Chain A
Amino acid sequence: MAAAALAFGVTLAHAGRSCEPKLPTATNVQRAMTLAERTAASLNASGAQVVVLGRIGQDLSKYGQRYSHLGFAYRDGAVWRVAHKLNHCGRAHAAVYRQGLGEFFLDDLHRFEAGVVVLAPAVQARLLPVLQDNARLARLHTPAYSMVAYPWAETYQQSNQWAIETLAMSQEPAATTRERAQAWLKLQGYEPATLRLTAFTRLGARMTAANVAFDDHPNHKRFSDRIETVTVDSVFVWLQRSGLGAAPHVIH
C-alpha cells in the first residue's frame, strides 16, 4: 500500500509542500468517470462542436466563485477532448494539455459537477481549428504561472487566462500577442472577478506556495486588498452577456 501511494504521486512529488500526492478513493474514480461519461453524452446531444467546460476542484464559495478551472472541450470524431492549461503540482510553471473528459474530472473534485457554456456557432467555428493545432494552442502560452495572475499583465498566466486569451486569438486575427488578446478581451467587455484578499492572506499564500504571486498586480489595487483575476464564473457571465456563448448549464 505504501508503495502504491508512492507510485501514484511520484511524477509530481518534487513539487514541494503544496503538492501532497494523494490516492483517490475507488468511489471518487467511479464518480469522476461517471461524470465524464454523462458529460460526453450531454455534449453529444447538444450538437455543439466546442464548449467551455468548468469543474469544481475546490470550494471557492467564500470568494463568490463556483468553478475553479476551465478548458475548451471539442469534438474530435466520435470522442471529446479538452484543451486546458495545468499547473504542475504547486510549482511556478504550467503547461498546456489535451486530455480526455476522464482526466479532466479525475482531479480530486470538490463537487462532481460540470458547468458547460455552448459557444455561439461562429465562435466555435473560429476556435475549433485552433484547438486542433498544437502550435496555435501554444502561441499565447506563458509558462510562468500564478494562480491569481493579473488579467491585464503578461508576467504570469493562469489557466483560465490562457483559455480566454487563446479564445481572443482565435476570434481576432490581429490578436497575435498576449497584449493584443487582452485588448480584444477588454473591447468585448470581459471583466475579471475581484477577490478580497487581505495582506495577511496574500503574505501567507506567497510564502507557502510557489504558484502564487502578487507582484504583477497594480499597487493601488493590491494594497486595497482587491485582487483581480480570471475566474471561470467571470468568464461564464461574460460569455453570456456578450453573446459569445449561451447561458451555462450544469451536468451532475
Chain B
Amino acid sequence: MTRLIRSMIAAAVLATSLGSAKAHPTLSDASALSLLPVAVSVAAPVMILSAGAALTVVAVEASAAGTVWVLERASDGVQASVTLAGGLSVAAGTAVVVTAFSTGWVLSAAGQAVAFIPNEIGRALLHNERVTR
C-alpha cells in the first residue's frame, strides 16, 4: 500500500485545517485564527475528483508529509490518494462526496467539509505563514 501511495502522489498540495474560533458572542471576533488548513495533497488520478463523485476513504496512514488517505470511487473501484498536512484525519470507511468548483474540490461527509483540494487557482490563493511567535 505504501508503494502504491508513493507512486500515486503526483503533486504536493498544502494542507490546512479548517477550524474556527469564535470568541464571546456579544463581542467582535476581531480575529479568530482559522486553521483551515485545508489543503492537502493529491495524488492521483485526479479524474476521480469529479463533481458529485461518491468516494470512500479506504485507508488512512501517517506519512512523513502528513496523513495519507486512499480514496476509492464507489462506481468502479478506482483509487487515488490525497496527503493532508497536519493532523487532519478521518476514519477508514468514511464515505465522502466531491464538490467541484473554480478553485478546487471539497470532500465532505454529511455536508461537513473534511478536506479541500485546491487546483492551480486555489493554490495561488492559499498560503499560511506565522510571522511572530
Chain B neighbourhood of A103, CB < 8 A? 16, 34, 36, 126-128
B18 touches A99 (CB 8 A): no
Q: How far is the CA of A101 from the CA of B106 in the complex (A)?
A: 17
B79 at the interface (CB under 8 A from A): no
B106 to chain A, nearest CB (A): 4
B101 touches A95 (CB 8 A): no
- Contact string against B for A residues 130-169, beta-carbon threshold 8 Å, 1 for contact and 0 otherwise: 0000100110010100011000000000111000000000
**Can you list 29 A-B pairs, Cβ within 8 angstroms, ordered by A?**
A1-B90, A1-B91, A4-B88, A10-B19, A12-B21, A18-B24, A23-B112, A24-B20, A25-B111, A29-B38, A30-B101, A33-B103, A33-B122, A34-B101, A37-B121, A58-B29, A63-B28, A69-B31, A79-B124, A83-B131, A106-B38, A107-B36, A108-B22, A108-B32, A137-B132, A143-B132, A148-B27, A148-B28, A209-B23
B24 touches A212 (CB 8 A): yes
Chain A neighbourhood of B106, CB < 8 A? 26, 29-30
A169 to chain B, nearest CB (A): 15
Chain B neighbourhood of A60, CB < 8 A? 28
- With CB as the reference atom, state the residue of chain A lying closest to B84: A7
Chain B neighbourhood of A141, CB < 8 A? 132
- Contact string against A for B residues 24-43, beta-carbon threshold 8 Å, 1 for contact and 0 otherwise: 10111111111110100000
User: Which residue in B20, B101, B111 is a CB contact (below 8 Å) of A107?
Assistant: B20
- With CB as the reference atom, state the residue of chain A lying closest to B133: A95
- A25-B111, A30-B99 are contacts. A85–B31 as well, Cβ < 8 Å? yes
